[in-house]
A and B are shown apart, each in its own frame.
Chain A
């Protein structure tokens, strides 16, 4: 009976979360230190930060940067990735560039962008884009290489227009790769964005976290983290999962 209850996936997930909070509570009570506030304290701080409008403002600023840099990186990355996947010579020529950009530390690109272009908004976004772009290109390039030649020939022999070929033959095959790039991209970008904000912006999550660090305000730090993780989870559940499901419905 109990095992059947446990087998229920959602109940299990909820239980594990609850356990995490309980462990946290236990550790906080035992340590009794300012550096590890209790879950209730953090929840109170979170509520106050939301009510005062401070958290929505900074979270909004970060999300705006996330959306704009993510969109630019995905569009550019998909275009270049398809191009490199289709043309062997171009690919051979630019492969070294990709390897170099993949291995330049994020911090270096961020600092260089700020040094060269100043502490301005688009320099911050550019820094994020440069960090994300090589990943997208590599993923989409792999996807393009695995395009089914048989189906492309079919499209050609039945005289599909370029648009029809893209929408009905190429895009459905690239879709899993685009989703993979999206997932890994969101995870990567939001980590980089915080550093970008910490180093050179006067709003956003990174800026706030830096402030809390200087004040040793661990409760606020945790409250902001929870809010951010929740937003990313919402994006996954409300946007990415349904998109995935719709695109996969034909699979056996």
Chain B
């Protein structure tokens, strides 16, 4: 388990010979075991931020501090596209992220929770996108990460499938809480999942709103509660409208 201290002074891209500033002066502290949703317009640099936290991108000025004693924190990353290895079966894809012997029982129960037990010996390209997404979520969950990064994992899924995976995600997280950074466009989805909403502006990306979600975890399935909270948010912070 780990908290995250984000302090990015500057992150620029070289686009067609011109410097494009993606992130400028971003400070954010994510508490231990907090479920944080990052909401912001597309192209504002959310994926860049996750990549920086995951250590995939080191070309920036600033510092990311992951507070984890004694060892490097484990990171589970659910990318926007599933990124499964097509030449390995569903189960092999999950087992591959373990350094030691993969825990068969845990993988079995995760596959069952995500309703993928029947297809564990199938190659990913034969599955629908929704199923591939679920595999990539299991892969991230299975290692019991200190930090879980999720980059719009439900985008382009049909509503019932998205709702089903969202419920599974909630169940899993309640069973084994860890620090989550969840990027989304969808305010209802964010309210349903998060402890805390962080609103981000278009690039250069900055924090423009930081709101705790006060709905009880048990009532998150209640669409009316979610809608009420959403209306309340939009009334009190009209600036949010321009970010969605």
B-contacting residues of A (Cβ < 8 Å)? 150-151, 153-154, 156-161, 164, 168-169, 172, 247, 249-252
**Does B229 belong to the interface (CB within 8 Å)?**
no
> How many angstroms between the C-alpha atoms of A151 and B56 in the bound complex?
12
> How many angstroms between the C-alpha atoms of A80 and B13 in the bound complex?
31
Pick the most buried of A154, A156, A168, A172: most chain B CB atoms within 10 A of its CB: A154
Contacts of A157 in B (CB 8 A): 54-56, 75, 77
Let me know if A150 and B56 touch, CB within 8 A.
no
Classify the interface of chain B: helix, strand, loop or mixed. loop
Contacts of B77 in A (CB 8 A): 154, 157-158
Classify the interface of chain A: helix, strand, loop or mixed. helix
Q: Which A residue's beta carbon lies closest to that of B98? A: A158
Pick the most buried of B56, B77, B87, B125: most chain A CB atoms within 10 A of its CB: B87
Partner of A172, one of B56, B81, B87, B126: B87
Q: Which B residue's beta carbon lies closest to that of A251? A: B125
Pick the most buried of A156, A157, A168, A250: most chain B CB atoms within 10 A of its CB: A157
Given contacts A172-B87, A250-B87, contact A164 B96 (CB under 8 A): yes
Let me know if B88 and A168 touch, CB within 8 A.
yes
Contacts of B97 in A (CB 8 A): 158
Let me know if B85 and A158 touch, CB within 8 A.
no
> How many angstroms between the C-alpha atoms of A168 and B96 in the bound complex?
9
> How many angstroms between the C-alpha atoms of A153 and B85 in the bound complex?
12
> How many angstroms between the C-alpha atoms of A250 and B87 in the bound complex?
5
> What would 29 A/B residue contacts be, using CB atoms closer than 8 Å?
A150-B79, A150-B83, A151-B83, A151-B85, A153-B56, A153-B79, A153-B83, A157-B54, A157-B55, A157-B56, A157-B75, A157-B77, A158-B76, A158-B97, A158-B139, A160-B96, A161-B99, A164-B96, A168-B85, A168-B88, A168-B96, A169-B85, A172-B85, A247-B87, A249-B123, A250-B87, A250-B88, A252-B123, A252-B125
- Chain B residues 138-180 with CB under 8 Å of chain A are 139, 143
Contacts of B143 in A (CB 8 A): 158
- Chain B residues 68-84 with CB under 8 Å of chain A are 74-77, 79, 81, 83
> How many angstroms between the C-alpha atoms of A153 and B97 in the bound complex?
13
